[in-house]
Amino acid sequence: MNRDTLLELLQTLSNAHGTSGDEIEVRRALRPYLEGHVDSLRVDAMGNLIAHKKGTGTQALRVLITAHTDEVGMMVVDHTGDGGLKVETSGSIDARLLPGLEVRVGKEALPGIIGLKAIHRIDDENVTAIDQLTVDIGARDRDEARELAPIGTRMTFATTAHPLGRLFAGKSFDDRAGCTALVALLQGAPLPFDLFGVFTVQEEVGLRGARVAGYTVAPDVAFVLEGTIADDLPKEEEGSPTSQVGKGPVITVMDRSYIADPRVVRYLVQVAEAAGIPYQFKQPGIGGTDAGTIHLTREGVPSITVAIPCRYIHGPISLLDPQDLEHTIALLRAALEQLTPEVIRRS
Ligand SMILES: [Zn+2]
C-alpha cells in the first residue's frame, strides 16, 4: 500500500465513530478494504470482525494478529432540567481536556458541545471532573434531551483527520492506526501459514473482545497491533518517554496486562535489525493491551504487542508519523514471512 492509500484508509477509520460495545460503524468502514483480500470474513457474537487468510501451508502454524476497533468516548447517563446531558466516560479520558470540545452524539451524529460553568464564575481550580460537565445539544428541556439522546447514547470527539506538517492528525489513532496496519497486512500476499486478522471490540473497557477472539482462533502465536503513548512532547525534565514519534515501531516487553514472550521479542528485534527497520522499546509497566487476555487463552499463547507511537492518545486529537506506520507494517510483514514453529518451540 503506498503512503497516500495508507493515509486515506487511516483517515476513513479515524473519522468513523465507535465507542466500546458500539463498533459497528468501524466494521462497516473496514469491510470494503478486506473483501477480495481474505478467504472469509465474519462477525462473532461480541462484534469482533474475524478475517481468515489462507496460507500456502508450508509452515504448520496458526497466527493471530489483532487491532481493536473501539475508541474512548462518553455515554449519556442522565439529563438535566434545562436540556443538558450528563455523561460518563467509556475508557479512560482526562476530564481536563473536555470543556469546550465539540462532540458527535448518537447514531445521527448530532453536534454537541461539552459545557462547563463560565470561567468568569469559577473560583475553584479543580473544576474538571466528569460529573461537573454537561453536554449541550441545544435541547429546550429534559424531555427533548431525553428524546434526542436517551440514556445509553454514545458520543465521540468531532475531530476530522488531516495532515499536520510531516505528521498526521486525527482522533482515535488508538487503535485505528493498528487497524490500518492490520488491513495492509491482510491485503498482502498469502503467508506460509493461515493468518487470522481480528478487529476486536471493547479493548478500552477491559480487553474483552480479544478474550473471546483468542479462544475462537486458538493461535500458536499472537501479535497485537496498537497505537501507543508517545509522550515525547512536551518533554519531561527527567525520565525517558513511554515512546517517541518518528523512532519506529514500539515493542512492548511488559505492560500492566502481560509480559511479552521473550522468544518473540528476540525474534522481532532480529528481524528488524536484519531488515534495517528502526524500532524502540516501550517503557515497561505502562498501559494494557489485548495481549493481556490473549496470552492467557486456553493453554497459553506466546504474544507480543507492537505499536505505532501516537502523541496525545485518549484525547480529542492525536498525532502520528506516517513513517512509523509504514515501518510497523514492514516489520510485521518481514516477521511473518520468516516465522517458523522453531521461534516458539519450548525446550
Ligand atoms: Zn489501544
Judged against a pLDDT cut of 90, whether residue 335 lies above it is answered with: yes
Ligand 1 centre from 82 Cα, in Å? 36
pLDDT in tens, 74-114: 999 999 999 999 999 999 999 889 999 999 999 999 999 99
The amino acid at 231: D
- Least confident range from 64-68, 313-317, 343-347: namely 343-347
Count Cβ atoms below 10 Å from residue 132 Cβ, excluding itself: 16
Cβ-contact 154, 18 below 8 angstroms: no
Q: Of 23, 35, 144, 203, which residue is the catalytic one?
A: 203
Helix (H) or strand (E) holding 262: helix 262-275
Ligand 1 centre from 347 Cα, in Å? 33
pLDDT of 237: 73
Count Cβ atoms below 10 Å from residue 33 Cβ, excluding itself: 19
When pLDDT is averaged across residues 216-233 and rounded to a whole number, the result is 96
When pLDDT is averaged across residues 205-222 and rounded to a whole number, the result is 97
H helices then E strands: how many in the chain? 8, 17
C-alpha cell belonging to residue 115: 459545557
Ligand 1 centre from 74 Cα, in Å? 16
Ligand 1 centre from 121 Cα, in Å? 37
pLDDT of 295: 97
pTM over 0.85: yes
Helix (H) or strand (E) holding 43: strand 40-43
pLDDT band at 234 (very low <50, low <70, confident <90, very high): confident
Q: Cβ neighbours of residue 95 under 8 Å, at least 6 residues apart?
A: 89, 128, 129, 130, 133
Spatial strand order of the sheet with 221-229 comes to 40-43, 49-53, 194-200, 62-68, 221-229, 303-310, 250-252, 280-281
pLDDT of 190: 97
pLDDT band at 233 (very low <50, low <70, confident <90, very high): confident
Question: In sequence order, what DSSP letters do the residues of 51-68 get, joined into one string?
Answer: EEE---SSS--EEEEEEE
**Share above pLDDT 90 across residues of the chain, in percent, rounded to a whole number:** 89
**In angstroms, rounded to a whole number, what is the distance separating the alpha carbons of residues 258 and 288?**
8
Between β-strands 280-281 and 250-252, what pairing exists: parallel, antiparallel or unpaired? Answer: parallel
Judged against a pLDDT cut of 70, whether residue 342 lies above it is answered with: yes
Known catalytic residue at 203? yes
What are the distances in angstroms from CA 188 to CA 1, 41, 106? 9, 16, 35
When pLDDT is averaged across residues 15-26 and rounded to a whole number, the result is 97
Ligand 1 centre from 179 Cα, in Å? 10
Cβ-contact 71, 171 below 8 angstroms: yes
pLDDT of 116: 79
Spatial strand order of the sheet with 318-320 comes to 162-164, 167-170, 318-320
Give the end-to-end CA distance of the chain in Å, rounded to a whole number: 39
Judged against a pLDDT cut of 90, whether residue 236 lies above it is answered with: no
Cβ-contact 150, 76 below 8 angstroms: yes
Q: Which residue bears the cell 480487553?
A: 207
Count Cβ atoms below 10 Å from residue 119 Cβ, excluding itself: 9
When pLDDT is averaged across residues 277-295 and rounded to a whole number, the result is 95
pLDDT in tens, 254-276: 999 999 999 999 999 999 999 99
Judged against a pLDDT cut of 70, whether residue 125 lies above it is answered with: no
Bin 100: left if φ > 0, else alpha if -120 < ψ < 50, else beta: left
Ligand 1 centre from 172 Cα, in Å? 9
Cβ-contact 197, 38 below 8 angstroms: yes
pLDDT of 209: 97
Q: What is the largest CA-CA distance in the chain?
A: 70
| 64 φ/ψ angles, rounded to the nearest 5 degrees | -110, 135
The radius of gyration computed from the CA coordinates of the chain, to the nearest angstrom, equals: 21
pLDDT band at 127 (very low <50, low <70, confident <90, very high): low
Judged against a pLDDT cut of 80, whether residue 54 lies above it is answered with: yes
pLDDT in tens, 133-153: 899 999 999 999 999 999 999
Judged against a pLDDT cut of 80, whether residue 225 lies above it is answered with: yes
Ligand 1 centre from 67 Cα, in Å? 8
What domains does the chain contain, in order, with CATH numbers? 3-71+171-344 (3.40.630.10), 74-156 (2.40.30.40)
Q: What is the pLDDT of the chain when averaged over all its residues?
A: 95
Judged against a pLDDT cut of 80, whether residue 199 lies above it is answered with: yes
Ligand 1 centre from 139 Cα, in Å? 34
